[in-house]
Amino acid sequence: MRFFDHIRLLLIAIVAVLGLVCAVLPWVVNSMDDIVGRTTRHDVAWNGANGRDDFHDVMRKLLVHRLEASAESQANARLSHDILTSRLRTWRQGSFGAFVAADQKRQRWLDTAERAVGDIGDLLDQAPAPERTDRMLELIDVAEPAVQMLSRAAYVKSTRDLAETAQKIQFMQRVQEGLIALLIAGSLILVCLLLRQNSALRASVASESRTSARNAFMAAHDVLTGLANRSTFSAHLGQLCAGDGSARRHAVFVIDLDGFKPVNDLLGHGTGDMLLIAVAKRLAAFAGANEGSLAARLGGDEFLLAIADLPSADVALERAQSLLEQIRAASAIDEHMVTVDASIGIAVLEPGLTGPENLIDHADIALGIAKAVGKGQAILFEQSMLDGIAARIKMEGDLARADICEEFEPHFQPIVDLVSKEVVGCEALARWHRQDGSNVPPAQFIPIAETSGRIIDIGAVILFKACRAAAAFTTPITVSVNLSAVQFFRVDILKLVSQTLAATGLAPDRLKLEITESMMITDTRLVRQSVEALKAIGVTVSLDDFGTGYSSLSYLRNLGFDELKIDRSFVSEITKGGRPMAIAQTIVQLARNLDMTTVAEGIETEEQAQMLLAMGCRRGQGWLFGRPVGEREFTRLYSPAPRLALAG
């Protein structure tokens, strides 16, 4: 930019100089004209020379008159004398007059000449006589040197003037030449600058268009992978679908990498980025193999793929499977061989059906389900998924509007001593009695309440009501309450529990808090601190659903759980022997060795109860001992009667 400013300044300067030269040149030429004009303006030398001729003519005529002394010779002399008189007058005036006036000597010469010529005139007026003629010739002798000197001086002055003028003309010519040279040079520079400016301009236009092309590319593409971005993808999809509404079938894949986060965490973001680039290349290659297909990056580890012209939805699934296989292939990044899996949600635009905007959303819903049912799968969107979503959205709304204190309350399931069959405790399970009279099962509302954060209020209400109920029980049985991970991480659980205990008057050693394994993986340190704090105030903490998730022995070592609950999935198969039995056996043995009590869940038969007891498990819950029932019913059934008569 500065370069252009300089050039512009230079251009202006040159144009100014050219303008000045153009203005000055005519003035120079004009003044040369003036100089030349002065030289040609009536030549003084010429006038002087002619005057001398006139003078000599008079002298000649007087000599003739001296010889002839006739009237005719006198008349001739008279005429010549008149002409000389006329000449002398011009010597007094005009340019010659100025020449004479400039020098006193010249004035004296002219005075002398005039006087003598005047006297000759007087003598000529008189009758011719030889002595008068002699007198006239004497006067001629007087005048002659003066006339000669004037004539010669005029010549000398003219010559000098001429030389001076020639010098001036030469100088002016040189000025003129210089100006013309300046004019030509300026014009040449101007042309060169304009050419240069022009080419610079062309270059800048070219670079501008390169920049804008790059900007356009960057606007349309993902910076990291170079794949199209979402808006480009949408536009492409729009074109694909607008092209022909009838016979074609197009599919959208939404691809989410499984296990990308550990790669990022363990190997660093650099490796993560390179993995994303490697996956993007495979996607691009995959898209390149199908005409009209396009791969895009949605952001993070999510990608989009549009596949055009599919014969059927099944083919879309097949393609997705082969894509998954390609993604799973290990990538060599730096010195690592990195593998990553992916889940794919697929939406197919059936001929004449929903538009492209829904297509991505539908594929996204299918992806959510693919991730929910297990990683590494490709799932085709179905309309029923949309119904599930709608129901979920409705429930979210209902939950948000629900009166938690009124509508939520715990049901209690007895926990019995497998030996004595005495009810030694109960588990409080949340129930939602809606104001319209319907009941919603926990499996339906708890996941939704967890994602919306509503679980915090629900959990607090259930805890309070469970503690209040337990405190009212006539027998001092324990009450187990489930804690959600959301509660654990978002509220001060210790404060909540101690306040609740204080408000209900329940002894801390009668409260058992159940937390699930899945909480451990997120923040073990926080969990451990909370568990220790809860134990410190006398509350028991038990580990729920043991064996279903990332059962890690390190939790058991690091966290001082008091109780371990064996998941119903093991209990239900325990009588079949083999592995489930071995696992159950191991868990019980492990708990015993770690000084933990065990509670088996989902006991439905006496056989199961006997086997668990044989393994060393002392406590159990399940339909065999009693279903979850309301507070009043539980009190009626179990609380007054410490000893329970077993059904069937």
- Pick the closer one to other proteins by CB: 89 or 269: 89
Helix, strand and coil in the chain, % to nearest 5: 65, 15, 20
Q: Please state the closest distance from residue 57 (CB atom) to other proteins, in A.
A: 7
Burial 254-286 (b: 16+ CB within 10 A, else e): bbbbbebeebbeebeeebbebbbbbbbebbbeb
3-state secondary structure of 227: coil
Task: Quote the CA–CA distance of 188 and 362 in Å, as a whole number.
Answer: 70
Which listed residue (29, 60, 82, 216) binds other proteins by CB under 8 A?
82
Report if residue 55 touches other proteins, rule: CB under 8 A: no
Report if residue 637 touches other proteins, rule: CB under 8 A: no
| Stretch binding other proteins (CB under 8 A), from 69-77, 156-164, 207-215, 334-342 | 69-77
CA distances from 164 to 29, 41, 326 (A): 18, 15, 102
Q: Please state the closest distance from residue 12 (CB atom) to other proteins, in A.
A: 37
Q: Please state the closest distance from residue 165 (CB atom) to other proteins, in A.
A: 13
Task: Quote the CA–CA distance of 290 and 31 in Å, as a whole number.
Answer: 87
DSSP letters for 578-614: HHHHHHHHHHHHHHHHTT-EEEE----SHHHHHHHHH
Draw the binding track, 420-439, toward other proteins (x: CB under 8 A; -: no contact): --------------------
Report if residue 90 touches other proteins, rule: CB under 8 A: yes
List the one residue out of 477, 529, 469 whose CA is nearest residue 500: 469
Q: How many CB atoms lie within 10 A of CB 313?
A: 17
Draw the binding track, 206-235, toward other proteins (x: CB under 8 A; -: no contact): ------------------------------
Q: Please state the closest distance from residue 89 (CB atom) to other proteins, in A.
A: 6
Which listed residue (85, 107, 165, 326) binds other proteins by CB under 8 A?
85
| Stretch binding other proteins (CB under 8 A), from 92-100, 195-203, 269-277, 464-472 | 92-100
CA distances from 373 to 297, 377, 546, 548 (A): 24, 8, 20, 15
Which listed residue (4, 31, 72, 173) binds other proteins by CB under 8 A?
72
| CA-angle at 265, arms to 263 and 269, nearest 5° | 80
Which listed residue (83, 189, 313, 507) binds other proteins by CB under 8 A?
83
Report if residue 258 touches other proteins, rule: CB under 8 A: no
Q: Tell me 505's DSSP state.
A: T
- Pick the closer one to other proteins by CB: 99 or 561: 99
Draw the binding track, 94-133, toward other proteins (x: CB under 8 A; -: no contact): xxxx------------------------------------
Report if residue 64 touches other proteins, rule: CB under 8 A: no
Burial 162-192 (b: 16+ CB within 10 A, else e): eeeeeebeeebeeebeebeebeeebeebbee
Return the residues of window 24-53 that contact other proteins according to CB under 8 A.
Answer: 37, 40-43, 50, 53
Report if residue 68 touches other proteins, rule: CB under 8 A: no
Which listed residue (57, 258, 409, 514) binds other proteins by CB under 8 A?
57
Report if residue 93 touches other proteins, rule: CB under 8 A: yes
Spacing of C-alpha 312 from chain mean position: 41
* Ramachandran quadrant class, 439 (left: phi over 0; alpha: psi -120 to 50; beta: rest): beta
3-state secondary structure of 332: strand
Applying CB under 8 A, the site for other proteins has a residue count of: 25
Q: Please state the closest distance from residue 30 (CB atom) to other proteins, in A.
A: 10
501 close to 508: Cβ distance less than 8 angstroms: yes
Site for other proteins, rule CB under 8 A = 37, 40-43, 50, 53-54, 57, 72, 75-76, 79-80, 82-83, 85-86, 89-90, 93-97
